[in-house]
Chains A and B, each alone.
Chain A
Amino acid sequence: MSALVAWMPFLQPMTALGNAWWLLMVPLVFGVAVVHRAIQDPTMDGYWGRVLSLTIRANAVLGSLALAIYLFVYFCIPLLRAD
């Protein structure tokens, strides 16, 4: 029954994400890009395009690192001899 009670945003953690919590990396990087570009760029012309570009590049780098670590842990480490 308690699971059916409405979720209280800002008071209860969001549990609906399940195993997809890592997708929150995208809005986090977007927020950082919004702030970074707001104070770093000489002009505000083309601001959102640069924010989008930074978001995509940063997420691509983070995703590549995650993939590399995944491959290392699940494929390289099992090849090591235990003795």
Chain B
Amino acid sequence: MTQQSDSVDGPLNWFPALMGWVLPGLGQVLLGHRQRGFRAMSGILGMFLAGVFVGGVDCVDRREDALWFYAQAGAGPIAFAADWANSALLKTGKVGRLIPSPPSNPRLPPPRVTSFKTVTMSNEVGTLFCFTAGLMNVVVILDALRRQPANPGGGTT
């Protein structure tokens, strides 16, 4: 077990950590670890966008899949943007059609869902991609919180 040399027990980097939530990896970039930051950024944004690409924006749903969304929100505003797109485009019927679905309560009228909603593995895998991206960004944020700023004369890592 090796000790990570860039971490210290000094003051916590609250601002870079916050910026790391706004844009994944930006915390490390602000601390001078540009390569680390940009690589983490590419990994997290790549995973999130791959998830939405595979599963559609329906795989990010703050209301219907709240537990999944709590983790997906770790990826930052991009998760809220995907949820907004889901609510504003699909659930209103602006894209696709609203079709009745089997009611969970027979005494209530059947709810209407978008024709783009699926229960295929694509949707589940897309949800998992976005979920993993959010969790990994939480790890990256915690890393930015404790990482020692890079030496200005020592190059970037």
A in complex with B: yes
B5 and A42 form a contact (CB under 8 A): yes
Minimal Cβ-Cβ distance residue in A for B121: A21
B121 contacts which chain A residues (CB < 8 A)? 17, 21
Contacts across chains A and B counted by CB atoms under 8 Å: 107
B128 to chain A: closest CB distance in Å? 7
Q: Which of B28, B47, B58, B118 has its CB near the most chain A CB atoms (within 10 A)?
A: B47
Asked if B148 is an interface residue, CB under 8 A from chain A, the answer is: no
B50 & A13 in contact (Cβ 8 Å cutoff):
no
Q: Give the bracket for the number of chain B residues in contact with chain A.
A: 35 or more
Shortest distance between the CB of B40 and any CB in chain A (Å) = 4
Task: Return chain A residues, CB-CB under 8 Å to B66.
Answer: none
- In the bound assembly, the distance between CA atoms of A34 and B86 in angstroms comes to 28
Cβ A38 vs Cβ B120 within 8 A: no
CA gap between A36 and B6 in the complex, in Å: 15
Count how many chain A residues have C-beta atoms less than 8 Å from C-beta atoms of the other chain.
26
In the complex, whether A44 has a CB less than 8 A from a CB of chain B is: yes
| B122–A15 touching, CB < 8 Å | yes
Q: What residues of B have a CB within 8 angstroms of the CB of A42 in the complex?
A: 2, 4-6
Q: Are A34 and B4 closer than 8 Å at their CB atoms?
A: no
State A47–B39 Cα separation when bound (angstroms). Answer: 10
* Chain A residues whose CB sits within 8 angstroms of the CB of B37 once the complex forms: 38
Q: Which residues of A contact B (CB under 8 A)?
A: 8-15, 17, 21, 24, 27-28, 31-32, 34-40, 42-44, 47
Interface set of B (CB-CB < 8 Å, partner A): 2, 4-6, 25, 28, 35-37, 39-40, 42-44, 46-47, 50, 52-59, 89-90, 95-96, 116, 118, 120-123, 125-126, 128-129, 132-133, 136, 139-140, 143, 157
